[in-house]
Amino acid sequence: MALPFNMPDEFVRGFFNSGQMLLQAYTGAAGQTGSVSTHPQQPALALAQAQAHYWQQQMVLYMGMMASAMGQAPEPAVQPERGDRRFNADAWRDNPWYSLLKQTYLLNSRLLNDMVEAAVVEEKEKHKLRFYARQFIDSMSPANFAATNPEVMKTAVETQGESVRTGFANLLEDLQRGRISITDESAFEVGRNVAVSKGFVVFENELFQLIQYAPLTDKVAERPLVIVPPCINKFYILDLQPENSFVRFACEQGQTVFLVSWRNPDADLGHITWDDYVENGAIKAIEVSRTINGADKVNTVGWCVGGTILSSALAVLRQRGDEPVASLTLLTTMLDFSDPGDLGVFIDEQGVSQREQTIGRGGIYSGGELGFVFQTLRANDLIWPYVVNNYLKGGTPQAFDLLYWNADGTNLPGPMYAWYLRNTYLENNLCKPGRLVMCGTPVDLGKIDIPSYIFGTQEDHIVPWKGAYRSTQLVGGETQFVLGASGHIAGVINPASKNKRSYWTDGTLGDDPEAWLASAKSQPGSWWTHWISWLQQHAGKQIAAPTGAGNAKFKPIEPAPGRYVAKHAPEVLGA
């Protein structure tokens, strides 16, 4: 099954290199791509054991099929993992042909996984093998092909072939769009039913707009809250709907909220650097917010790469002797990139050098490519179900605000992106005191000597929680770590009003994140209530809520959510 977009070069190269590496691990074939054991008997023995188990299971499968042919109901040789929804249809269980397909696929998948685990290679290369083996295994599921998916065949018969025609039309539309449709995008509009919190844009430059939200209480904290979201996504994940809006929650708790809305870069911003995001982005947002509010300091929140930008900005300010910030909150943010999770499989010297040579001196990195990378981290949730539904069954994806936001990607300026790849994921320079110079200033995260609230999520596939935890050992000042249940998005956007999931607090801080977790206390519900109690300690006294947005110097420009967030650059749409 073809996919309706171009895969990034890093993905294609990594896929074939991993296959070559696995082949060499067992055969000693030429063309080594990773560090492989010089003792071939070790993987050979493990391979023999995996093959023996495989054939035992095949025999169980064969005997089961014979029993089924005689009218008996045998136990399956292998079952899908819990939560695997690909084989939920009754035919995968009741029809002998489809049952055989399913079980054969699952046994072959396990054999390939066993081969990967038995290969004696360096751990970094083993991680790549696991990742690309999973991509191959997921893609080859019989559920992904029309002739081997009973639901697809049934739908085609019931609709007299109309589902086939509609599916092909859906494929053509997505080819034009440059990405798979994962939600009904016509159901949402920024400013109409997502990103609807009231406020005004009170400042803008070529890089971002600053939104000041209207207060929802008569009294507000003296010190405002400045939020720096990721620049790789639109900010309104923090303001999807009123019932799950982090922005609205903060306003309801008496905070004056300022939020950065990054511009979606086009060719005109192809020159923008990392330093621009630090100086003309985060630092400027802090300066303007503080000026408008008239406070001595502001409190700050950064999410994901927004947290990396914000931390860089605070390190620069501290080195300059400026102290405009009272506290720092980092949400699923990495400052130490020694364990970048699955995203690390895309990063190597060859790929980073290629980006530096092509867009590093000017150009745009397409949000479409970046979106594909994130989808591969959860391919069985974000790729293959939509391939089956949209193209094989001729269906239309349901309306879902979170997936609408997920599809509303953003580009990145080439110089900024290339610098970020090399100095974080590839060389991990940010966590090394004085290694990097930003905005003309040596950076030392340890100089950020203010209270910090550092939040990670247990199932995060983008920022592994142990990587988020390492920030506690990098920044100065009093530090608190909180671990939330669920993943990168759902773990953060966990409204207090719904009282769902749980979080862990009050572990003993030290070098070992597992030791922290062992000593931490589990708390039911949302971490939002815990965070706001912490934040209020640094928010200053209560004052009357402002009656309007901005001030004499920074006057309201337009209502929230502003123009920048509504912009879809051609590169994002794959045009």
Element (H, E) at 206: none
Q: What is the CATH number of the domain that holds 446?
A: 3.40.50.1820
Tokens 């590093």 belong to: 360
| Residue 213 covered by a domain | yes
Q: Which residue in the list 231, 251, 304, 431 is annotated as catalytic?
A: 304
Residue 297 resides in a domain: yes
Three-class SS of residue 437?
A: strand
CA 434: distance to chain centroid? 29
Cβ count near 508 (within 10 Å): 10
Tell me which H or E stretch contains 210.
Answer: strand 208-213
Alpha-carbon distance of 489 to 266, in angstroms, equals 26
Cα gap 143→385, rounded to integer Å: 9
In a domain, 119, yes or no: yes
Beta-carbon count within 10 A of 432 CB = 15
Please check whether residues 239 and 119 belong to one and the same domain.
no
The total of structural domains in the chain comes to: 2
User: Is 305 in the same domain as 431?
Assistant: yes
For the entire predicted model, the pTM comes to: 0.91
Determine the structural domain holding residue 125 and report its residue range.
9-140
Question: Phi/psi at 524 (nearest 5 deg)?
Answer: -75, 150
Would you write out the chain's pLDDT as a tens digit for each of its 575 residues? 555 555 667 777 777 777 777 777 666 543 444 444 434 455 667 777 878 888 888 888 888 777 777 777 777 888 999 889 999 999 999 898 999 999 999 999 999 999 898 888 888 889 999 999 999 999 999 999 999 999 999 999 999 999 999 999 999 999 888 889 999 988 999 999 999 999 999 999 999 999 999 999 999 999 999 999 999 999 999 999 999 999 999 999 999 999 999 999 999 999 999 999 999 999 999 999 999 999 999 999 999 999 999 999 999 999 999 999 999 999 999 999 999 999 999 999 999 999 999 999 999 998 888 888 888 889 999 999 999 999 999 999 999 999 999 888 899 999 999 999 999 999 999 999 999 999 999 999 999 999 999 999 999 999 999 999 999 999 999 999 999 999 999 999 999 888 889 999 999 999 999 999 999 999 999 999 999 999 999 999 999 999 999 999 999 999 999 999 998 755 433 33
Q: Which amino acid is at 10?
A: E
Strand partners, 194: 190
Both 84 and 209 in one domain: the answer is no
Three-state DSSP class for residue 504: strand
Q: Please indicate, yes or no, if residue 285 is contained in any of the structural domains.
A: yes
Which spans in 88-186 are helix H? 91-94, 96-118, 123-139, 150-158, 162-177
Last residue of a domain, one of 119, 140, 161: 140
Q: Does residue 203 share a domain with residue 133? A: no
CA dist., res. 88 & res. 409, Å (int): 32
For residue 447, how many other CB atoms are within 10 A of its CB?
A: 17
- State the Cα–Cα distance between residues 487 and 343, nearest whole angstrom: 15
User: Does 251 lie in the same domain as 116?
Assistant: no
Residues 6+ apart with CB under 8 A from 169: none
Phi then psi dihedrals of residue 322, to 5 deg: -90, 140
Domain closes at, from 121, 140, 159: 140
Same domain (yes/no): 536, 461? yes
Cα dihedral 542→546→550→552 (10° resolution): -100
Q: How many CA atoms lie within 13 A of 199 on its CB side?
A: 29
Beta bridge partners of 434: none
Residue 230's region, left for phi above 0, alpha for psi from -120 to 50, else beta, is beta
Q: Which residues contact 128 (CB under 8 A, 6 or more apart)?
A: 14, 17, 18, 21, 34, 345
Please tell me whether residues 424 and 291 are part of one structural domain.
yes
Asked if 337 and 428 count as a contact pair (C-beta separation under 8 A), the reply is yes
Same domain, yes or no: 207 and 315: yes
Angle, to 10 degrees, between the axis of helix 96-118 and the axis of helix 41-69? 170
* Whether the Cβ atoms of residue 246 and residue 238 lie closer than 8 Å to each other: yes
Annotated catalytic, 304? yes
| One domain, residues 426 and 292 | yes
Q: What number of residues does the chain have?
A: 575
**Which residue is it, tokens 């080594």?**
32
136 & 258 share domain: no
Q: Token match 């062992």: residue? A: 518
Counting other chains too, the contacts that 521-524 makes at CB distance below 8 Å and 24 or more residues apart are 524/499
User: In the listed set 106, 140, 174, which residue is the last one of a domain according to the structure?
Assistant: 140
d(CA 40, CA 118): 11
490 inside domain: yes
Q: Please check whether residues 225 and 328 belong to one and the same domain.
A: yes
Q: Are 102 and 92 in contact (CB under 8 A)?
A: yes
Taking residue 329's Cβ as centre, other Cβ atoms within 10 Å add up to 25
Q: Are residues 258 and 121 in the same domain?
A: no
